[in-house]
Each structure stands twice: as structure tokens, then as C-alpha cells.
A and B are shown apart, each in its own frame.
Chain A
């Protein structure tokens, strides 16, 4: 059962929406998403999702692309805000103004979407390595 049969379930007032949806789904057949179909099918097959309709695969691909784009955009805003912030110490100011995707920005933007991303824990060779010199003496 796909859009053609599901559209028949709707009432008369939904005909415009349904025709728009059918148009959208058929336009997905000509659309080439950035995330390739093969990759999406691989992951969907792993998840137990089974549907031979290519349009649904494309819909998943488009949804994922949208999510990724939103996350990347948020991270970019974080990056720009960090670069635009005034720095008191001139020597600490970064020389290149290139926009680089970093873990710091990414974890901040992903946190808004409910994904907790953290840096790898710092593994010290002895328990006293990361401590202050004063507490080390104790």
C-alpha cells in the first residue's frame, strides 16, 4: 500500500493535499538526493524496514539530508559566533578565518537535537597527571 491507495482513504476535502503529496512523491523519482539510495537501502535493510517503493527510500534520504543540513547549519552559526566574539588577548586570536567543522560546534548543535556527543575521555598514564601541582604535592 503506498500513496496511491492511501490517498483514496482521505475525505473529499483532502484532495488538494493528496494531489500535492502525489506530485511531491513522483517528483522524488527525478530528484537525486545527496545521500545515495544504495546507502539508505543498506541502512534500511539493517533496520528491518521493507518496502520496494523507491519513492519511500528517497523520502528517507531527503529527510536525513534535511536533518544533516539543519545540524550543519547550526554548527556553522556556532562557528561564526565564536569567530566574531571579541578576543581580549590578541595573541590568542586565530589567524585563519576559515570555517572548519569542529567537534566543539558539532556537539553544541547536536545537543539541541537530543544527541549527546562528547569528546573522547582523556586517558592519563598515572592518576596524578591531570591534577593541579598543589594537589599533586599532597
Chain B
């Protein structure tokens, strides 16, 4: 059993160190869109079919390419003290990513960016390639991706919080959460609100059990009246 273990050690040594923060997996919708687009590109090159695993891998690479372009351009813009990226940052990012395969004029990094060989390559590509649009229009609603960000406070919803210690500016509790506790307190306390529009209502709370009254006098003796009856 020694040889396979030794082999395994060698393989581990050869492997590059893993990324401590691996990128999150792409959403299913984006992956499906990317699959269709990449399949169209493969079809235009002359392929008649594709293995699903190969197509998935290639579309994943496409997503990562866009991510890498965006990251690189955003970093260059941030390094120059801007929040919005412009075409110069993008051309620089494209040059960086196409440096692995090379492009015309890559030998002179000090040359003007707008005359970059990578950009000229893109111009020639757009002129030469046939336009293959995406087969279907895509619904554009970015808000649906983050439903957790949409919430309304108690004040906005016009409701009173079920507990007295909960301020009205907090988001409403989910419907199921109110269940037993909220109802239980609601029956024990009678809340009377004066003027809904005023925001802060005047509350008169009747306590469930009778208690003895306590009186205080400032600067004098405290006197407790005995409970009557």
C-alpha cells in the first residue's frame, strides 16, 4: 500500500494552494442563461452537439471571465481614486486578461491605452463576426433577487408592535411569529390609543392583579398605606 500513498503525497504537493475564499456558486438562473449563450457561440463555431458537463464548464468559465474583467476594472478605477470605472480601466483590464495569450502591441506597456492592440482586436472581431442575438428577451428585475432587503416598519404598516419594548421603527414581525405570545399579551393588556396619526399613542394599561398603592413624599418619611379590604 506504500506506492499509492507516496503518489498521493506528490499530487498534494503539486496542487496549488487552495483559495481561502472560494467564489460563491453562481445562481441557477445566471448559469442557465450563460449555458444558452455559450451553446449559441459553440454552434456558431461549427459544433453540432456538446456534452452537458463541458458546456457547463465553459459557461462557468464565461461567468468567471466577466467577473475577472469587472474586478480588474473596478480595482484599477479604485486605485486611481474613482468609484466609477471608465473605458480606460476596462481596456486595461482586457489587456491584463488577454496577456496570457498575447495581443499586438503587448510588448510596449507604456503605449496609449486607446490604441491598444486588444481593443483593435475587439473592433475587428465585431466587424467580422455575425450577430447572433440571444433567442429570448430576458425579464429584468433586479429587486427580486434580494427579497430580504424589502421590509416595512410597524409605523409604515400602521400596526402596533405586540410588545411594549419593541419600537415602532423596527420591521414588522413575520406573521407566524406573532402566534401565541402576542395574542396572550394582547388579551391580558387593554391598550387604548389616542389619535392614530400622532405617532405615539397614549397607553393606559390595566394590570391583571390588584396591588397595594404606594405613596412617596419628597424629603420626608415614606408612608405606606395599608391595603384596604
Given A47-B70, A48-B71: A63 touches B94 (CB 8 Å cut-off): yes
B4 and A60 within 8 A (CB): no
Mask of A1-40 contacts with B, CB within 8 angstroms, 1/0: 1110011001000100110110011011001111110111
Report the minimum CB–CB distance from A133 to chain B (whole Å): 15
A113 contacts the other chain (Cβ, under 8 Å)?
yes
B222 contacts the other chain (Cβ, under 8 Å)?
no
Contacts of B67 in A (CB 8 A): 43, 46-47
Identify the closest chain A residue to B60 (Cβ). A117
Report the minimum CB–CB distance from A84 to chain B (whole Å): 14
Identify the closest chain B residue to A65 (Cβ). B41
CA distance A69 to B58 in the complex (A): 11
Contacts of B115 in A (CB 8 A): 14, 17
A1 and B86 within 8 A (CB): yes
CA distance A76 to B84 in the complex (A): 39
A51 and B100 within 8 A (CB): no
For chain B, give the interface size range. Answer: 35 or more
Contacts of B172 in A (CB 8 A): none
Contacts of A100 in B (CB 8 A): 47-51
Report the minimum CB–CB distance from A36 to chain B (whole Å): 4
Report the minimum CB–CB distance from B200 to chain A (whole Å): 41
Given A25-B87, A72-B58, A101-B55: A49 touches B70 (CB 8 Å cut-off): yes
A112 contacts the other chain (Cβ, under 8 Å)?
yes
B133 and A34 within 8 A (CB): yes
A134 contacts the other chain (Cβ, under 8 Å)?
no
Identify the closest chain B residue to A52 (Cβ). B84
Report the minimum CB–CB distance from A87 to chain B (whole Å): 21
Is the contact region of chain B dominated by helix, strand, or loop, or is it mixed? helix
B45 and A73 within 8 A (CB): yes
Report the minimum CB–CB distance from A107 to chain B (whole Å): 8
Report the minimum CB–CB distance from A46 to chain B (whole Å): 6
B88 and A63 within 8 A (CB): no
Mask of A38-63 contacts with B, CB within 8 angstroms, 1/0: 11101111111111100010011011
For chain A, give the interface size range. Answer: 35 or more
Is the contact region of chain A dominated by helix, strand, or loop, or is it mixed? helix
A85 contacts the other chain (Cβ, under 8 Å)?
no
CA distance A135 to B70 in the complex (A): 51
Identify the closest chain B residue to A104 (Cβ). B54
CA distance A38 to B51 in the complex (A): 26
B47 and A43 within 8 A (CB): no
Interface residues of A (CB under 8 A from B): 1-3, 6-7, 10, 14, 17-18, 20-21, 24-25, 27-28, 31-36, 38-40, 42-52, 56, 59-60, 62-73, 76, 98-103, 105-106, 110, 112-115, 117, 127, 131, 135
A-B residue pairs, 9 tightest by C-beta: A47-B70, A49-B70, A101-B50, A32-B133, A43-B66, A114-B100, A44-B70, A48-B74, A36-B134
Interface residues of B (CB under 8 A from A): 1, 3-4, 27, 30, 33-34, 37-38, 40-42, 44-51, 53-55, 57-58, 61-63, 65-71, 73-74, 82-88, 90, 94, 97-98, 100-101, 112, 114-115, 119, 121-123, 125-126, 129, 131-134, 138, 140, 142
A-B contact pairs, 8 of them (CB 8 A): A1-B86, A6-B87, A38-B33, A42-B30, A64-B66, A72-B45, A100-B50, A103-B57
